[in-house]
Amino acid sequence: MKTPTFISNKYFKNGLMIFAGLFLGWLFFHSSGTDVKSDKTAVHEHSEDENTTWTCSMHPQIRMDKPGDCPICGMDLIPLKKTNAEIDSAAIEMSESAMKLAEVQTSKVSYGGVSKDVSLYGKIQPNEKLLQSQTAHVPGRIEKLYINVTGETVKSGQLIASIYSPELITAQKELLEAVSMGDKYPAILESAREKLRNWKLSEAQIQTLESSGKVNNTFKIYANTSGIVSNLKVNEGDYINKGVVLFDVVNLSNVWAVFDAYESDLPWVSLGQKVDFTTQAIPGKTFSGKVSFIDPVIDPATRTAKVRVEIANQGMQLKPEFFVNGTIQSGKKSSGNQLIIPQSAVLWTGVRSIVYVRIPDATHPTFKMREITLGASMKNTYVVQNGLMEGEEIVTNGTFSVDAAAQLEGKPSMMNREKNQKPVTSMPGMKM
């Protein structure tokens, strides 16, 4: 009975030892496997940290190789999400939050009719076609001047001056002698009459001289036209020669409004266009006329050309030297509509005109600078001659913000045509 008990205890002890060994082995290998896996995970995560690029949600142009604060706004940097999509190296990518913060807005390029209100500034001037000079047709001395001041009104046929002329006295005596021999020498008589006609004596004056037989010591001068004396050039007692201007006369029944048009506005101005204008001297009233002349020469100092408008001056309301403000409602002459964009979309460097075009089908808002050729400038828009197509989407508000982001990231921009700049990686002193 003792032997079976011993055998039974022996097997029990051996079984217990085997079980204990298996348990210890499981604990060792399980712990070792876990440590190896943990080490591999740690190595992988460390590797990811080294390859992660950090950026700012508000300023996506910022790129850092480690976590930190945005050098512009001071916000915590976040990992940059990597995508498999390829982005143009010259394009600038923005987040939706950055676009909202910068108030970036876009619109599509389209065709449209073009028109422009051209503002003009000028003065009223006399119509030079109605400007005449009153001249003396005989030499002599002014005995009496009946027009004494500039601005005086004269009428055609009005007596304006009396002249003492020795030559005219001689010519009158020749006529009277020819009259006495008229039957024998009719040609001499006619020649003497014609001489007086050339000196602007009227037929009535000649007939009075012949019938009276008396020589007049003074010669009366009568006005040739009606108008306003604009420039009085002689005084009583002056000695004058034949052809000397006594004064200028201007007729103000029709006047000119002469405007200065900038060279950039000249494509919108053409002959026959209606011009509405006002003057502070006559408030509340609008005058109208048509363009009758456009100066072919530009003033090199003001870069303007004279634009002339003729106006019937009823009641002589418009006076020379009145300042006037005019407007031409112009429609661009073209065979069809033209491609137009808002002026707010254009950045101009003095040499280049650029816009930012949104790249279609991009995962995030992505823009690329493009140089364009502009045509005529209107009130709030430009005509595009080259560089854009209908349907393309461009930045129309916040253009400077997009351009600033492109500059900071070293992408082509208004001030950086070539890609020769590096992205901003730090900005000392800008932390907020």
Q: What is the pLDDT of residue 330?
A: 77
Domain coordinates in residue numbering, the chain: 1-48, 91-113+336-408, 118-127+252-331, 137-243
Q: What is the pLDDT of residue 196?
A: 85
CATH class of the region 118-127+252-331:
mainly beta
Supply the mean pLDDT for the chain: 81
pLDDT at residue 87 greater than cutoff 80: no
pLDDT at residue 162 greater than cutoff 50: yes
What is the rounded distance in angstroms from the CA atom of residue 90 to the CA atom of residue 410? 9
Confidence of residue 38 (pLDDT cuts 50, 70, 90): very low
Dihedral, 188, 192, 193, 195 alpha carbons, nearest 10 = 130
Confidence of residue 14 (pLDDT cuts 50, 70, 90): low
pLDDT tens digits for 202-244?
A: 888 888 888 888 888 888 888 988 899 988 999 999 999 988 9
Q: Do 91-113+336-408 and 118-127+252-331 come out as alike in CATH topology? A: no
pLDDT at residue 7 greater than cutoff 60: no
CATH class of the region 91-113+336-408:
mainly beta
Closest CA to 140 of 197, 199, 208, 202: 199
* pTM score over 0.85: no
Least reliable range by pLDDT among 34-38, 155-159, 267-271, 285-289: 34-38
Least reliable range by pLDDT among 171-175, 316-320, 419-423: 419-423
pLDDT at residue 55 greater than cutoff 90: no
Q: What is the pLDDT of residue 258?
A: 98
Q: What is the pLDDT of residue 44?
A: 43
* SS3 readout for the chain: CHHHHHHHHHHHHHHHHHHHHHHHHHHHHHHHHHHHHHHHHHHHHHHHHHHCCEECCCCCCCCECCCCECCCCCCECEECCCCCCCCCCCEEECCHHHHHHCCCEEEECEEECCEEEEEEEEEEEECHHHEEEEECCCCEEEEEECCCCCCCEECCCCEEEEEECHHHHHHHHHHHHHHHCCCCCHHHHHHHHHHHHHCCCCHHHHHHHHHHCCCCCEEEEECCCCEEEEEECCCCCCEECCCCEEEEEECCCEEEEEEEEECCCHHHCCCCCEEEEECCCCCCCCEEEEEEEECCCCCCCCCEEEEEEEEECHHHCCCCCCEEEEEEEEECCCCCCEEEEEHHHCEECCCCEEEEEECCCCCCCEEEEEEEEEEEECCCEEEEEECCCCCCEEEEECHHHHHHHHHHCCCCECCECCCCCCCCCCCCCCCC
Confidence of residue 41 (pLDDT cuts 50, 70, 90): very low
Confidence of residue 86 (pLDDT cuts 50, 70, 90): low
User: Looking at residues 282-292, what average pLDDT do you find?
Assistant: 95
User: Looking at residues 179-190, what average pLDDT do you find?
Assistant: 80
Closest CA to 325 of 373, 361, 362, 281: 281
Query: What sign does the CA torsion over 12, 13, 15, 16 have?
Result: positive
Q: What is the pLDDT of residue 344?
A: 92
**Higher local confidence (pLDDT), 23 or 386:** 386
Q: Using N-to-C axis directions, what is the helix angle for 166-180 and 186-198, rounded to 10°? A: 160
Beta-carbon contacts of 329 under 8 Å, excluding residues fewer than 6 positions away, are: 115, 117, 274
pLDDT at residue 35 greater than cutoff 80: no
Q: Which residues of 138-156 are buried (b: 16+ CB within 10 A; e: fewer)?
A: bbbebbebebeeeeeebee
Confidence of residue 51 (pLDDT cuts 50, 70, 90): low
Among 4-8, 17-21, 178-182, the range of highest mean pLDDT: 178-182
pLDDT at residue 150 greater than cutoff 50: yes
**What would you measure as the largest C-alpha separation in the chain, in angstroms?**
204
Confidence of residue 28 (pLDDT cuts 50, 70, 90): very low
**Higher local confidence (pLDDT), 61 or 356:** 356
